[in-house]
Each structure stands twice: as C-alpha cells, then as structure tokens.
Amino acid sequence: MAKITDVAARAGVSLSTVSRVMNGNPTVDPVLAERVRAAALELGYTANPLARSLVLGRTQTVAVVIPDLGNPTFQAILRGLSRAAADDGYHVLIADSAEQVDEERVLAVATRRRTDGVILCAPRLDQASLDVLLPELAPVVVVNRAAQDSAPVVAADYRTALGELVEHLYGLGHRRVAYLAGVPRSASNAARLAALADARAAHPDLEIAELPSGVDFDSGAAAADAVCASGATAVLAFNDLVAMGLLSALTDRGIRVPADISVAGFDDIPFARYTSPPLTTAAVPAAELGAQAWAAMHALLTGAESVPFVALRPQTILRGSTAAAP
C-alpha cells in the first residue's frame, strides 16, 4: 500500500503539503495541490480516516442518546437524523439509556469524549441537571424539551396535538375520559398534562382521570382493569404502543372498541393504521424532527447561525377506534 511519504516523493513536495491537500486545506497552491492529487491517484493512495481525524481534531461522528431504542418513534427520529448527517459526511453513534436517568448522564458524557457533538433525544433528566450538563457537552442539541439557554432545541408540539384529540373526543360526546400517563420524567408527558389542564378549563363538564401507565405495549395491557373501573367512555393513551396494548386487553375482555369505549393513541407509528380497529392518533413528524436536529448540530459544528428553538406540529389522524359516546 502506498504511504504519504511515497506521494510526497512522487509529487516533489513536503509531507505537510500532502497532508494539507488530502485534508482539503484551501491554502495550498492550486498547482501543487493538483500535483499531489495526481500522484495520489497514480499510487492508489487514500488518507487513513483515523489519522485524518487525529490531524483535524474531528471524528466526523456525532452521538445520539435516546431513552428507548425499541420505540418506533425514536427509530424514525434516528432515521431522519442519520440520513441527513450522512449527506454531510457524518456518522451517527447511538446510545440507549433504557429510561435510566443516571445512565443517560453517563452515556452523554462518555460519547461526547469520542465524538464531535451530542444530540440528546427526549432526555429524562430534570431541568436543573440538564442546565449543568449541557455546557459540558457542547456542541449539543436537544430534541423534545422546552427551550434551553445553552443549546438549540427541536421539539414536537405535544400540547396542541393532544388538545386537538381531547376536542375530538369532546365533540363526540365523551364527558369522562381516561388518560394513560407516560413516564413522569418525560417532558412530552408534561406537555400532555398541560393540554389536559387546558381542556378541563375550557370544558367544566369534562372529567379526565389520569391513570399511571408507561410507554410500551405491556403498560397499555396492564392498564385495562383500571380503565374499566374508571367509568371512562374514551381513553387517551400516552402513545400508540400503549394504545395497542390496551386495545388487545379490551378485546380479550369482550369490550368493543369503539362501540363500548373509544381509544386514541399518539405518534402514528407504522402499525397504527393496521390495528383492529385502526387507531385514531396524532402523527408526529419524527423523521423531520431528526433532520432538523441534525441541521441544528451541523450549524454548531460549522460555525453557522443556528435557530434556538424549532417546533413541529403533529397532525391529528382520525380512524376507526373513536366514535360517539355510548
């Protein structure tokens, strides 16, 4: 294999000149640069990526820390982010904190040491801890949190979207609704709770029972008895996975959806339209969230101006799992 010394000898230049040319340094005289590139082509020389990273002080890699790799919404965010990053010549390192706050902090710090920047996707850290951590991670971008002083944020407007689902159920005549809550540390869960407070204020005759649940299929299935005991005629699930688990458990109990009770999810994951009945939900633009998160990170890495806060609005999708109150 040809070495950098071979290229320098063939082109009649110094090693540092070859290095600058191969790293795209524009200060090299164009005639010399062309001579170096011609010598490299003749010898079949390509720069060692690891050596190039050491010279430039960059890895061309960013880390993404997420709370649950099994969640299809996070997968879609990663897909949009990684494809946008690839277009700019960057790789993405993924770290899954498994909903563990302490692990989230450790992963963020550890991956930042090995990459050019970190993107925190729906971090579960409390705000005080996040305020301390973000400056340590810079450059850093946050997905699905409120605006931050020390990092750009890209987020979905969960509050408005859930409010639209509540209004949909209210318009169908439902006056007692159950909400299957997500993990308490989730900022998007807090936004959903704020939407419920808005709905209660707007409709004094509307009762909303908040039932503890979770973020996965099993959580929804486990909540079926509590839902039945609540007397609710409609259920808002934290996400589609929870709604699907509930649908399955209600079917096992002989409870008809939506004839006996309506069920709505959130996210519009790929399976939501194929449930029985198809699931009413709010479509989160997850891939676009990922692409916008990369745009914010790329701006930080290149010294361009970044937008402090970008909000994307989910779209309400009405399907067969919701109907008039029985």
Residue 261 lies in a domain: yes
The verdict on 69 and 87 lying in the same domain is yes
Amino acid at 306: S
The verdict on 147 and 164 lying in the same domain is no
Whether 47 shows a pLDDT value over 70: the answer reads: no
Residue 248 lies in a domain: yes
In 3D space, the residue among 61, 208, 87, 81 whose CA is nearest the CA of residue 154 turns out to be 81
The verdict on 117 and 43 lying in the same domain is no
Residue 12 lies in a domain: yes
CB 174 within 8 A of CB 233: yes
pLDDT, tens digit, 9 for 90 and up, residues 63-76: 999 999 999 999 99
Residue 164 lies in domain: 158-284
The verdict on 112 and 186 lying in the same domain is no
Residue 319 lies in a domain: no
Q: What is the CATH number of the domain that holds 78?
A: 3.40.50.2300
Whether 275 shows a pLDDT value over 90: the answer reads: yes
The verdict on 196 and 123 lying in the same domain is no
The verdict on 73 and 52 lying in the same domain is no
Report the pLDDT value the prediction gives residue 4, as an integer from 0 to 100.
Answer: 83
| Token pair listed for 283 | 């479509």
Whether 9 shows a pLDDT value over 70: the answer reads: yes
The verdict on 227 and 130 lying in the same domain is no
pLDDT, tens digit, 9 for 90 and up, residues 114-147: 999 999 999 999 999 999 999 999 999 999 999 9
Whether 1 shows a pLDDT value over 80: the answer reads: no
Residue 192 lies in a domain: yes
d(CA 280, CA 250): 16
d(CA 72, CA 63): 19
Mean pLDDT of the chain: 93
Q: Which residue has the higher pLDDT, 141 or 25?
A: 141
Percentage of residues of the chain with pLDDT beyond 90: 81
The verdict on 263 and 298 lying in the same domain is no
Helix, strand, or coil (residue 167):
helix
Q: How confident is the model at residue 52 (pLDDT cuts 50, 70, 90)?
A: low
Can you give the pTM of this predicted structure?
Answer: 0.81
Q: What is the CATH number of the domain that holds 10?
A: 1.10.260.40
The verdict on 253 and 240 lying in the same domain is yes
CB 188 within 8 A of CB 142: no
CB 237 within 8 A of CB 180: yes
pLDDT, tens digit, 9 for 90 and up, residues 80-113: 999 999 999 899 999 999 999 999 999 999 999 9
Residue 322 lies in a domain: no
State the residue for tokens 């979770």: 214
Residue 117 lies in a domain: yes
Amino acid at 70: G
The verdict on 264 and 276 lying in the same domain is yes
Residue 313 carries which DSSP code? -
| Token pair listed for 154 | 């890209």
The verdict on 163 and 217 lying in the same domain is yes
The verdict on 213 and 302 lying in the same domain is no
Residue 180 carries which DSSP code? E
Amino acid at 197: A
- Phi, psi of 131, rounded to the nearest 5 degrees: -60, -35
Residue 209 lies in a domain: yes
The residues facing 211 across adjacent strands are 180
Number of domains composing the chain: 3
Tell me the C-alpha to C-alpha distance, in Å, between residue 112 and each of 29, 94, 143.
36, 12, 16
